[in-house]
Structure 1
Amino acid sequence: MTGRPGTGTRRARGNIETLASGALRVRVYGGLDPLTKQRHVLTEVIPKGTNARRDAERARDRLLVEVAERRNPKTSATLDQLLERYLSQFQGSPNTLQLYETHVKNHIRPLLGPVKIGRLDPEVLDSFYAELRRCRKHCARKRGLIDHRTEREHECDERCRPHRCRPLSATTIRHIHFILSGAFKKAIRWGWIKESPTSWAEPPPAPKPNPKPPNAAQAAQILNESWKDADWGAMIWTAMTTGVRRGELCAVKVESVDFTPGRETLWLERAIRREPGWGWGEGDLKTHQQRTAR
């Protein structure tokens, strides 16, 4: 099936073309692109060879089946376009959004931004995570690279040193995985793709927490010293006995405390946090649900 229009026959949904190099290009119509509203065509190139025609016909039939079963990507959108749409609709906190935008700018966009989302698979993502574990600056492995003390124009001194590859932390790589996972879930809901490659990719495991709180004797020593100032002692005591977050503790007001004997309660409804663009201010709790501490 060559699928050449203009012969008076019905236009074929798939065709095979011979390129100047001798390779065969398979093209299958996949519907209208929901992002651009233009024709979306699935393309696959079969290298020149003895069995090229047979392989091309198999590729065409496979793509036709994927289209018929709605398993093909519905758009030629790139990961950049998906992330831009995803972040514009993000409903998390401003701080989380700012963190995500930083990761997209520094790590995702330079390495995967131009890739079409239909071509991203678990193998590509695993290679991407491996690169993040190799070097956080994504260096080209060339000699003579310098880690400059600032990105601004400057004269180098002893603070600008030969480049050393340092990996991103496992926590940061997992944050990047969560960004991609959220974006691909949206893409599935929008009908852009059938399944998410992040479901099969393997980010590094979460690091095991290793808290080192003071023992009972050390805690008592800290409290005894802090009570030399009544206000400071009250704050340290509250932090130790309730386990509230720092931002929550800073937002406590007199009306937040119930001093009823035997029923003393601390109501946590607000928290102090940094808001991108204008500094510190009051906001909702991290869980967006008030709670009490006793």
Structure 2
Amino acid sequence: MPVHKRRYRSGETVWYFDFNAPGSTRETRNRITESGFATKREAEDAEAKRRIEEQETHELAKAGGPIDAPLPKTLATLREEFFRQHAEEKLAPKTIERYREQAAYFDPELLKMAITEITPLHLGREWTRLLKSGGHHRRTKAPRPLSAKTVRNIAGVLSSVFGRAVRWGLVKANPVSDGEPPVPKKHKGIALTPAQQALVFQTATGPWCLPMFLEMSAATGARRGEVLALRWSDI
């Protein structure tokens, strides 16, 4: 209980509150305390108010800026606000990494635009650009097309960014909803028969872990990267 009573030798009785500041750990514990309240109710009210103030201060410190900082006006500033205020607080590190990789494809001219001026037409042009020359070759850096699936993933990130802007009251609607991102073509999956799987297991040679890798892949249907990222705690 954060509220306590203290009795002095003089006979005077006062109430005080005492709690750990937000973000405190065993190694870096910061105590918030205040005394001199005549009643328990006064101490409880003061403690509740102070706790809210300390939590707000802690959240602002994590966000890296004051609460009255300028609101994002362009897509570039909205993108960074999205990562700072939402993604880094609520998403897994690997998800954030993937989001940042996809957000890096946004056209510089689109990033300069005011978020209130971006329309589905602008986004339709962006999807076309990405499909034709959104990527680049690693060696020559020459432009290359992106797949429809990649462009749709990029559109998904942009939709999340604008969706957060709607929640924040920065825009009235999400333009990605009517932006018609490309739809990837579905390919028929190819799977090995049980007999073929058994043959692969029997003929596998190489590292000691290869049979386990193959059996895990066959049992779960997971992708190579997903199987390689597994830990014993996942199993």
Deviation at 1:241, TM superposition (A): 3.2
Residues 122/35 of structure 1: CA separation in 2 closer, same or farther (3 Å cut): farther
**1:133, 1:222 → 2: CA distance?**
37
Alignment deviations for residues 162-185 of structure 1 (CA, whole Å, 9 cap, x no partner) = x5x531111211111111111111
Q: Give 2:93's aligned residue.
A: 94
163, 173, 186: which is aligned to 1:208? Answer: 186
Q: Give 1:179's aligned residue.
A: 157
Q: Give 1:47's aligned residue.
A: none
125, 128, 139: which is aligned to 2:126? Answer: 128
TM-score by length of 2: 0.58
Give unmatched runs, 5+ long, in structure 1: 1-33, 37-74, 139-146, 152-162, 254-268, 271-291
Q: Residue 81 in 1 paired to residue 77 in 2? A: yes
**2:213, 2:138 → 1: CA distance?**
42
Residues 190/149 of structure 1: CA separation in 2 closer, same or farther (3 Å cut): same
Going by fraction, where is strand more abundant, 1 or 2? 1
Alignment deviations for residues 215-243 of structure 1 (CA, whole Å, 9 cap, x no partner) = 33322211232499986545533432343
Aligned 8 A contact 1:129 1:203 in 2: yes
Equivalent AA in structure 2 for residue 127 of structure 1: R
**1:244, 1:233 → 2: CA distance?**
15
Alignment deviations for residues 187-210 of structure 1 (CA, whole Å, 9 cap, x no partner) = 111111111111111000033144
139, 150, 153: which is aligned to 1:149? Answer: 139
Q: Give 2:199's aligned residue.
A: 221
Give unmatched runs, 5+ long, in structure 2: 1-67
Equivalent AA in structure 1 for residue 83 of structure 2: L
**2:161, 2:140 → 1: CA distance?**
32
Q: Give 1:29's aligned residue.
A: none
Deviation at 1:149, TM superposition (A): 2.8
Aligned 8 A contact 2:159 2:174 in 1: yes
Equivalent AA in structure 2 for residue 79 of structure 1: L
Q: Give 1:110's aligned residue.
A: 108
Deviation at 1:104, TM superposition (A): 2.5
Residues 215/127 of structure 1: CA separation in 2 closer, same or farther (3 Å cut): same
What SS is found at the alignment partner of 1:108? coil
**1:244, 1:224 → 2: CA distance?**
21
230, 240, 244: which is aligned to 2:218? Answer: 240
Aligned 8 A contact 1:80 1:109 in 2: no
Residues 236/98 of structure 1: CA separation in 2 closer, same or farther (3 Å cut): closer
**1:87, 1:191 → 2: CA distance?**
17
Q: Residue 196 in 1 paired to residue 194 in 2? A: no
**2:194, 2:135 → 1: CA distance?**
44
Residues 81/149 of structure 1: CA separation in 2 closer, same or farther (3 Å cut): same
Going by fraction, where is helix more abundant, 1 or 2? 2
Q: CA RMSD in A?
A: 3.3
Alignment deviations for residues 46-75 of structure 1 (CA, whole Å, 9 cap, x no partner) = xxxxxxxxxxxxxxxxxxxxxxxxxxxxx7
**2:206, 2:126 → 1: CA distance?**
54
**2:229, 2:171 → 1: CA distance?**
45
